[in-house]
């Protein structure tokens, strides 16, 4: 068997394990969702070894999608960390065998506190499955490991079941992009969802502007001064009348128009695309890409010029 053959066999076995989960989902999954939706506390995920690593990821996914959660190591729980659990919480316990001693030893203490337990195991008749409030069956036909020993297909199945739980809760809560951004403010996704045009636009004297009577020469100087690739054309009250861009300049030069005598209002793009300060920076990106332009004026509700930004600003801010 080649390395490639081995890889394909592993993936095929793990795909099979995921397909098996579809037939094993039942009413207990619905009940688990309802239980977690009704919590006033948090979901405490626990598991040992490979199940613990999977549990860490499930806890992180739950927390980032609107369900407060954290991971508790079962070994540490027996030495004081159980104090983190309150009567308002629920425990999501993972164990493929359902007999992991560090996990099952917590059951009497959790039951004494009246804390609901949702178990995910590959053994529906195991101690953990029987003693839990609700059990989610993650059993598989075999591991991808040729020895059928190393947790591979089983951990994939458990992880996928955790994802299914998190997404079902997300959808039930009506958790949207703005909510997601609030829990991911430091990432690129958070920047795309939270950053507003006002946060990155150029302002005051850094905004290129000329009156409609300005000559092409004056417009060219203004484009060069600010380096944004365009200038806005405004009236005496700063209302945006149009824009004149580098591209417009090249077309003017092809027509051999005189830079001194030609007024910018004769060759500007009337009105043109624009954004407002409170719009998401991601919306500005969309407008630029759709219109195949690299800069935008920013106007207020009265269509007065208040800022400007270009694609470089968006790249620098990490929106793209």
Asked if 296 contacts 271 with a C-beta cutoff of 8 angstroms, the reply is no
| Helical (H) or strand (E) element with 134 | strand 134-137
Cα–Cα dist 87/110, whole Å: 9
Residue 256: per-residue pLDDT: 78
Q: How many whole angstroms separate alpha carbon 320 and alpha carbon 314?
A: 6
Mean of pLDDT values over 211-236? 93
Distance, in Å, from the CA atom of 51 to the CA atom of 203, rounded to the nearest integer, reads 53
Region for 260 from its dihedrals, namely left if φ exceeds 0, alpha if ψ lies in -120 to 50, beta otherwise = alpha
Overall average pLDDT of the 7-33 stretch? 96
Q: Which of 183, 194, 271, 204 is nearest to 232 (CA)?
A: 271
- 89: tokens are 């919480």
| 133: phi then psi, degrees, rounded to nearest 5 | -65, -45
313 alpha carbon, distance to own chain's centre: 22
Q: Return the higher-pLDDT residue of 294 and 47.
A: 47
Which phi and psi angles does 9 have, rounded to 5°? -65, -40
Mean pLDDT of the residues in the chain: 91
Question: Do 169 and 279 meet the contact criterion of CB atoms below 8 Å apart?
Answer: no
Distance (Å, whole) CA 232 – CA 226 = 11
Question: Which tokens hold the place of 41?
Answer: 């506390």
Per residue in 133-189, pLDDT (tens digit) is: 999 999 999 999 999 989 999 999 999 999 999 999 999 999 876 666 666 555 555
Lowest mean pLDDT among 10-24, 127-141, 179-193, 238-252: 179-193
The residue-averaged pLDDT of 41-51 equals 97
Question: How far is Cα 150 from Cα 144, in angstroms, rounded to an integer?
Answer: 8
């Amino acid at each position: 068997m080649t390395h490639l053959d081995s890889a394909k066999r592993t993936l095929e076995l793990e795909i099979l394990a995921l397909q098996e989960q579809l037939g094993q989902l039942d009413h207990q999954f619905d009940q688990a969702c309802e239980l977690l939706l009704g919590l006033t506390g948090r979901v405490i995920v626990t598991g040992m070894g490979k199940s613990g690593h999977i549990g860490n990821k499930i806890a992180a996914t739950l927390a980032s999608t609107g369900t407060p959660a954290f991971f508790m190591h079962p070994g540490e729980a027996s030495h004081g960390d159980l104090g983190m659990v309150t009567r308002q919480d629920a425990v999501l316990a993972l164990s493929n065998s359902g007999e992991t001693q560090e996990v099952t030893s917590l059951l009497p203490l959790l039951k004494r506190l009246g804390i609901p337990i949702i178990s995910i195991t590959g053994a529906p008749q195991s101690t953990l499955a029987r003693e839990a409030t609700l059990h989610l069956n993650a059993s598989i036909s075999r591991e991808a490991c040729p020895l059928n020993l190393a947790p591979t297909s089983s951990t994939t199945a458990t992880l996928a079941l955790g994802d299914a739980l998190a997404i079902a809760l997300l959808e039930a809560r009506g958790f949207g992009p703005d909510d997601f951004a609030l829990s991911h403010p430091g990432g690129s996704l958070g920047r795309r969802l939270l950053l507003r045009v006002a946060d990155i636009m150029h302002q005051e004297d850094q905004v290129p502007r000329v009156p409609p009577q300005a000559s092409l020469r004056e417009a060219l100087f203004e484009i060069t001064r600010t380096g944004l690739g365009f200038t806005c054309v405004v009236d005496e009250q700063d209302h945006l009348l149009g824009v004149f861009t580098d591209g417009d300049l090249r077309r003017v030069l092809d027509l051999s128009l005189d830079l001194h005598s030609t007024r910018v209002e004769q060759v500007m793009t009337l009105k043109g695309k624009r954004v407002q300060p409170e719009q998401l920076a991601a919306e500005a990106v969309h407008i630029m890409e759709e219109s195949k332009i690299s800069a935008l004026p920013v106007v207020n509700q009265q269509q007065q010029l208040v800022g400007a930004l270009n694609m470089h600003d968006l790249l620098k801010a990490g929106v793209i």
